[in-house]
């Protein structure tokens, strides 16, 4: 049996990750590709409870607490959901993963990157995504999109524009094995098609060969 494929969607607030995830789920279903969709923080009972606290605007979190709880949620999700699904040969799509911690707790909060990397490694046991799709979007546009969608501002979304600018810069600078940038100001269908082409190029054995 194949060892599955781990795909992560990343980007600033309002970039369209959730819409893309839905599109990818529909396409996998239509093609009979066994896929599991998760979100971070979240995806298990404990991690969803932590998410509620982490995003609660009434709670006073310090940056170090945030780092430790985000990665605690990740440790649970990796152990209980992601690794077992990959071992069954499934494609796992995660709405956010380790790059979010680099961008938000590292670049955004200013925590030392070596601490962020170390804690993340401890949480994941060294699991890294096969493909990371980064949705590039001007944070001001993301904010407008969320406002237009009537999304209530959670604790992270309420951070000021300079925080979100640091997060967006970290995403723009992200590079490495399997990291691909997509223009998130295109239509949802174009973003989905661009994402699918990347997946086919990177993992033809899972997503089928490209038609180009």
Residues that bind ligand TMP (CB under 6 A): 13, 39-41, 70, 95-96, 100-101, 104-105, 156
Residue 23 region, left (φ>0) first, then alpha (ψ -120 to 50), else beta? alpha
Residues ≥6 apart with Cβ < 8 Å to 57 = 153, 154, 155, 158
Nearer to ligand TMP, 51 or 206 (CB): 51
Nearer to ligand TMP, 104 or 207 (CB): 104
With vertex at residue 18, the alpha carbon angle to CA 51 and CA 117, rounded to the nearest 5 degrees, is 55
Structure tokens at 105: 């707790």
CB of 172 to ligand TMP, least distance (A): 16
62: nearest Cα among 72, 71, 54, 50: 54
Nearer to ligand TMP, 44 or 105 (CB): 105
Residues ≥6 apart with Cβ < 8 Å to 26 = none
Say how far residue 120 (Cα) sits from the centre of its chain. 14
Nearer to ligand TMP, 139 or 206 (CB): 139
CB of 34 to ligand TMP, least distance (A): 24
CB of 182 to ligand TMP, least distance (A): 17
Kindly provide the residue ranges of all beta strands, DSSP E only, lying in 98-177, ordered along the sequence.
131-136
CB of 39 to ligand TMP, least distance (A): 6
Nearer to ligand TMP, 157 or 202 (CB): 157
CB of 78 to ligand TMP, least distance (A): 12
């Amino acid at each position: 049996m194949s060892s599955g494929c781990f795909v992560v969607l990343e980007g600033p607030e309002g970039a369209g990750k959730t819409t893309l995830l839905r599109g990818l789920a529909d396409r996998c279903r239509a093609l009979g590709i066994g896929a599991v969709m998760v979100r971070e923080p979240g995806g298990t009972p404990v991690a969803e409870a932590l998410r509620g606290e982490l995003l609660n605007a009434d709670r006073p979190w310090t940056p170090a607490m945030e780092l430790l709880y985000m990665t605690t949620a990740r440790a649970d999700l990796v152990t209980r959901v992601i690794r077992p699904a990959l071992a069954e040969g499934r494609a796992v799509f995660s709405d956010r993963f380790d790059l979010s911690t680099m961008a938000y707790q590292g670049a955004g909060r200013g925590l030392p990157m070596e601490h962020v990397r170390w804690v993340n490694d401890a949480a994941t046991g060294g699991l890294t995504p096969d493909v990371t799709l980064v949705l590039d979007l001007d944070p001001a546009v993301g904010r407008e999109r969320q406002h237009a969608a009537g999304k209530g501002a959670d604790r992270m979304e309420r951070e000021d524009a300079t925080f979100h600018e640091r997060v967006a810069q970290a995403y723009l600078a992200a590079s490495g094995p399997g990291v691909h940038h997509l223009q998130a100001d295109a239509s949802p269908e174009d973003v989905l098609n661009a994402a699918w082409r990347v997946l086919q190029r990177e993992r033809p054995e899972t997503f089928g060969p490209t038609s180009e």
